[in-house]
Amino acid sequence: MDLCKKKESSGSAEDIERQYGRTWIWTAIDTPTRLLITFWIGGRELDDARRMLKDLTTRSQGKPLFVSDELPHYGTILGELFQELVPPTPTGKPGRPRNPERVIDADLDYATVHKTRQGSQVIKVERKVVYGSEQHVLARLAESPSQTINTAYIERSNLDWRLWDAHLARKAPTVARAMRWLKAKFAICAACYNLIRPHETLSRGKDRIFRPMTPAMAASVADHQWTFSELLAYPALCQ
């Protein structure tokens, strides 16, 4: 999305982007509960991936199965976060010892999805296991709602953000004019998604009766469906 001021008649879209930049929203969703675990608003550089993934791993228990698009930053940072430096075996020979060997954690499972598009149509989907064994990744997928390596849950949530925040709508005249307000508005959208809005799939059991269930309730973060009054009166939002 673009983060910029109102376009002047004398400035092109390229000039405005060069001056004010382009902003990306990074999100991470837990597949079983649909909980939006964390998000980061910034650029699309390696340091942005590092900030988001560091926060994600501190909020996750154990080593979850990571699935993303083919942006190489994810694999690089996951390799940094889940690694061990193994010292070399002493040779007994004089001289400077070798540097420790960087070994990726054997329990780390990470896969990517690459989509080839022709115009607006997806004509090919390629899945690749980057870290971990394919058998272990498939076994973990069999216990999850997705069943296959995909990014469908993130892509579906992106539609929600575009519907809820006019700044994120595609081909719309609205633009975000300040990073401060963009972050504040998206934080409210994320809170509504997690705490207030019931998720259709989570709310319908095998009997098809609708019982409101939010992602926060499914993840045992909340014990009831919040109201907007509760959210806006929460102490952290009032400081």
Question: Strand order in 65-69's β-sheet?
Answer: 65-69, 109-118, 121-131
Cα–Cα distances in Å, from 170 out to 110, 130, 158, 178?
30, 32, 11, 18
Pairing of strands 24-30, 35-42: antiparallel
pLDDT of amino acid 7: 41
Total number of domains in the chain? 1
Distances (CA, A) of 196 to 227, 229, 233: 6, 10, 14
What's residue 86's pLDDT?
79
Q: Is residue 7 part of a domain?
A: no
Residue 119 lies in a domain: yes
Domain assignment present for 95? no
The tokens for 26 are 């990074």
Instruction: Return averaged pLDDT per consecutive 10 residues of the chain, 239 residues in all.
Output: 43 53 89 95 94 94 90 95 82 75 89 90 92 92 89 92 86 78 91 95 90 96 94 72
pLDDT attached to residue 181: 87
Triad 66, 68, 73: Cα angle to 5°? 95
- Residue 235's contacts (CB-CB under 8 Å, 6 or more residues apart) are none
Distance between CA atoms of residues 133 and 130, nearest Å: 9
Q: Has residue 138 been placed in a domain?
A: yes
In a domain, 147, yes or no: yes
Q: Is 229 part of any domain?
A: yes
Let me know if residue 152 belongs to a domain: yes
Does 94 fall in a domain?
Answer: no
Residue span of the structural domain in which 17 resides = 13-86+101-238
